[in-house]
Amino acid sequence: MAYMGYDPERVGWLRDALRRNADTLDTVRCNDPLAISAIARVHACRTSILDVWLPVVSALLRCDALTSPPTLHLDPTDLRDSFWLSIQATGWNVITDPDGTTHTRLTRAQAHTLGETLARGDLSAWVDTPEELDWLREQLQTILDSQVLVAAFATGVGDWAWLFDVVTDEWRLAAPGRQVQIENIIPLLAGAYVAATPLGPAGPAAVWTPSIIDVIEPSAAALLIRSLPATATQLAQWCDQILLRWTTQPVDRTSWADVGVPGPTTADLLFPLLIARSPAGAAFLSAAADHPQIVFATTNDGALVNHLLLTGTDPSVVSPEQAGAIIVPMIRYLREAEPWMHSGVLGGGFDAHDLVGPLIAPWLPFMGARAEDWDWTYVDGDNALRWVLKDGTSMDALVIALDERQNQLASTPMMGLDGRINDAALFELATMFAQFNLAFRDEEINDATANRIWINLTLQTINTVSSLVSARATVPWVSVASTVIPYVANGSEWLATNIGWSPPDEEQATAVAMPRFGDRMAATAVVAVAAGVAQLVAEGRLDPAATEELHLGDLGDLGDLGEGCAPRVVEERLHDYLQTLKYRTDPAGFNALEAVLTTFMNPAATSQACR
């Protein structure tokens, strides 16, 4: 269906004017021979009026379409009728075209009216059906194909900020199906905005920032930039700018539109963008280090924050220095802030403690052995570590990370081909394990009620010792975590049945914590020595039979070896084992193995564990 517009009164005026002009032209006379040509043209004009135009206009006035126009209903709430409603408002009558011709080409006037209607009208009334939203999407796609139509549409819109805020409000309140339709329209509006903005991406892309994001609602800005092309640096900058603004009080209202209402917050819209592009996530976290509240206090979704932190600090994405520049300020902020983080919605939020363990897990040496690389001291890192261990989830993550490092230790070169010991690697590993084991010991003493953590640590210690004391030359060994998983669900029952242990009560806490500390120290020493032996065998400096001779004997219950405590027994047996290798390898290799044992287990350390 197409439409035609007319004004019957004006058509009547036209007919009367044609008649008057024909009569006037009929009075023109001249007998001068030189005027013959001019008089002929006058008569031809009169003939054209009488024979062509007057009959056409008279017939138009007699047409049924004009004399008895069919009723045409224009819906004042249907966006598809907005252009014709605007024509009708000027005094024209709009009826169905009798010839049924359909005109599909969008005009500048229609594009202008569409923009004006969207920006000025009640959007919830104009597009309240799926069909109207589909029609709007098609019209916007057509507009984007023509710079002329974009200019006309933008002129009609005028205030882009108002339009984006209105569309965002409609999106926020929409049902899920309608919300998806609106999400499909927002990129088209964003495209029109960019095409119509003089300082758009045509300028230097590295410095361009859409100024509108500082004017519209932060949630509207989040929806907008999801549709804008951007480098990782730009995206990080925009997200930082938007969320920092979100954390400030708006000047003209009590809060932003997405605070205290159902649905996603601004951060919930932006964080997935940063997670999907890890360099952008890293750049965002680097900027957020100056104001960490935009990471933790802008959403109730702890899992989302955790994903962002792990993505933006992944060792494959950032260097140790970059990771430290992010993690250290985050930890300092969380230690000073309330542990329960939320975006201002009652009943929601998450415990920030839960996030820090997984965050530092890939960077364990920088909590102590390499603390200076992160521009803080060993004491700073150790205090932060002990604060993290107050939370069960974080402690679990750290224990798993520590055991993964023990597995990696089996393939860490402890000495070069010239027999020289890798002093730096050895010191780092030894310091790290000692620091963490001491922290675990102290935390177990201070928080004896964490039975679930106690079981987790015990299972992993047993697995480490039992697998490594019978290790062969194949390295690295099976991941500890994969071995523990089958037992975690019924860990307490498994311990009681197979080992004879049960979780400690308050009185047993201190007595149990010390042996467990020694068990982990012993396990680490076994790993280190086994790795050194395996390396010498792989290099042909020691016969393969040496790996099969690494038997520590029947240790029995790790908590009661009958000869004192696990560290002292393991130290003695490892020392005796190395003595059997003294003349089977070169002096440099033997000295390196002794150095490894002394680093990870020595009389002083044994006394500390067995006191």
Q: Side-chain half-sphere of 430: how many Cα atoms within 13 Å? A: 19
CB 258 within 8 A of CB 223: no
Predicted pLDDT at 481: 27
For residues 460 and 453, give the distance between their C-alpha atoms in angstroms, rounded to a whole number. Answer: 11
Rounded alpha-carbon distances, angstroms, from residue 83 to 61, 160, 162, 216, 354 = 26, 20, 21, 28, 56
Residue 163, Cβ density class (10 Å: 0-12 exposed, 13-18 middle, ≥19 buried): buried
Which of 304-308, 476-480, 489-493 is least confident? 476-480
Predicted pLDDT at 335: 87
**3-class DSSP assignment, residue 415:** strand
Tens of pLDDT, residues 249-282: 888 778 888 887 788 999 999 999 999 999 999 9
Per-residue pLDDT at 427 exceeds 90: no
Predicted pLDDT at 219: 93
Tell me which H or E stretch contains 562.
none
Q: Which of 372, 396, 394 is nearest to 385 (CA)?
A: 394
Which residues pair with residue 3 across a beta bridge? 96
Predicted pLDDT at 603: 67
Q: Which of 409, 305, 429 is nearest to 359 (CA)?
A: 305
| Model confidence band, residue 119 (pLDDT cutoffs 50, 70, 90) | confident
pTM of the model: 0.67
For residues 533 and 232, give the distance between their C-alpha atoms in angstroms, rounded to a whole number. Answer: 46
CB 263 within 8 A of CB 173: no
Task: Please name the residues in contact with 571: beta carbons below 8 A apart, sequence gap of 6 or more.
Answer: 522, 525, 597, 601, 602, 603, 606
Q: Which of 545, 407, 415, 541 is nearest to 472 (CA)?
A: 545
For residues 328 and 346, give the distance between their C-alpha atoms in angstroms, rounded to a whole number. Answer: 29
Write out the two tokens for 91. 């005094």
Predicted pLDDT at 496: 44
Predicted pLDDT at 120: 76
Mean pLDDT of 406-426: 60
Tens of pLDDT, residues 211-247: 888 889 999 999 999 888 889 999 999 999 999 999 9
Predicted pLDDT at 317: 94
Rounded alpha-carbon distances, angstroms, from residue 581 to 164, 540, 542, 554 = 76, 14, 8, 21
Which residues pair with residue 183 across a beta bridge? none
Which of 117-126, 344-353, 531-540 is least confident? 344-353
Which of 84-88, 363-367, 598-602 is least confident? 84-88
Predicted pLDDT at 281: 96
Query: Where are the extended beta strands (E) located within 99-197?
Result: none
| Better-scored residue on pLDDT, 180 or 510 | 180
Per-residue pLDDT at 514 exceeds 60: no
Predicted pLDDT at 463: 38
| Better-scored residue on pLDDT, 338 or 213 | 213
Tens of pLDDT, residues 15-58: 899 989 988 988 888 888 888 888 889 899 999 999 999 888 88
Residues, the chain, total?
611
Which of 186-195, 375-384, 400-409 is least confident? 400-409
Angle between helices 160-173 and 176-196 (to 10 degrees): 170
